[in-house]
Amino acid sequence: MRRLLIALLCAAFAVAIVSVSATTAAPGHAQAAKKKCKKSKKAVAAKKCKKHGATTTPPSGGSGGTTSPTPPLDTDGDGVPDSTDNCVSMSNADQADADADGHGDVCDTCPLIANPGTASCPPTLTDLSTSTEICEGHIDEAAGTVTLSAPAVGDTFVAVTSGDNSKVTITNGGTTVLNAQTTGTVFMSGIAQGGPVTITAALNGGPTQTSDISVIACM
Ligand SMILES: [Ca+2]
Ligand SMILES: [Ca+2]
């Protein structure tokens, strides 16, 4: 009887130990299993990325990312940014501006006469035409015409000079193009026979126009 009781106690004790070891070992085993699963998932994802040629990027906001500055706008691609280009729509790397009005020569409608900002080009002298001949002894003969590129704003005086005052003189030193007109008549006097004599017209010191005239004997 005593032996039987001892045997039963031992059996009960053994069952208890097995039960306790089973309950305490379970969490550790579960954690190990979870870790293994997590690693396995990462490995699968990495393999998938590699297969599609993608690379992993650091999370945004971290210290690993860098941004390059946006280059300034250069519409005509001449190397001069729009913000400082004197001709934004046409390439002019040299930025040439003969009349220094801020409009580059290549897109300045009047490159030799300053028209800063939105100002239109002022009228300029475009032509001087004279008779081929003028009569000796004729005084104040209408023998020439000057032409402006646009109607004069106010009365505009055009200076005209003779290359040889002993043969041809210019009455009043030139002619006046009246307000809103584009032409003016040049009066001359024939002094002595000879020629050709070069006549020159100039407006406000700008480009000049020239023409030749001779003095002949007239009946
Ligand atoms: Ca440019
Ligand atoms: Ca200019």
Give distance in angstroms: CA of 63 to centre of ligand 1: 36
Evaluate if residue 136 carries a pLDDT over 90.
yes
Q: Which ligand places an atom closest to the C-alpha of 104?
A: 2
Between 2 and 168, the more confident residue is: 168
Between 13 and 127, the more confident residue is: 127
- Pairing mode, strands 194-202 and 208-216: antiparallel
Give distance in angstroms: CA of 96 to centre of ligand 1: 13
Evaluate if residue 211 carries a pLDDT over 60.
yes
Give distance in angstroms: CA of 74 to centre of ligand 2: 20
Q: Which ligand places an atom closest to the C-alpha of 82?
A: 1
Q: Which ligand places an atom closest to the C-alpha of 80?
A: 1
Q: Does domain 75-121 have CATH number 4.10.1080.10?
A: yes
Q: Domain locations in the chain?
A: 75-121, 125-216
Evaluate if residue 36 carries a pLDDT over 80.
no
pLDDT at residue 110, as a whole number: 87
Comparing 43-57, 72-86, 137-151, 201-215, which segment has the lowest mean pLDDT? 43-57
Q: Model pTM greater than 0.85?
A: no
> What is the Cα–Cα distance from 87 to 103, expressed in whole angstroms?
6
E strands along the chain, which residues? 125-130, 133-135, 141-148, 156-162, 168-170, 174-177, 183-190, 194-202, 208-216
Report the CATH architecture of 125-216.
Sandwich (2.60)
What is the average per-residue pLDDT within 3-32?
44
Q: Read off φ and ψ for residue 59, nearest 5 degrees.
A: -60, 145
pLDDT digits (tens, 9 = 90+) for 182-197: 999 999 999 999 989 9
Query: Three-state SS for 173?
Result: helix
87: left (phi over 0), alpha (psi -120 to 50) or beta: beta
pLDDT at residue 103, as a whole number: 96
What is the average per-residue pLDDT within 86-101?
96
Give distance in angstroms: CA of 71 to centre of ligand 1: 12
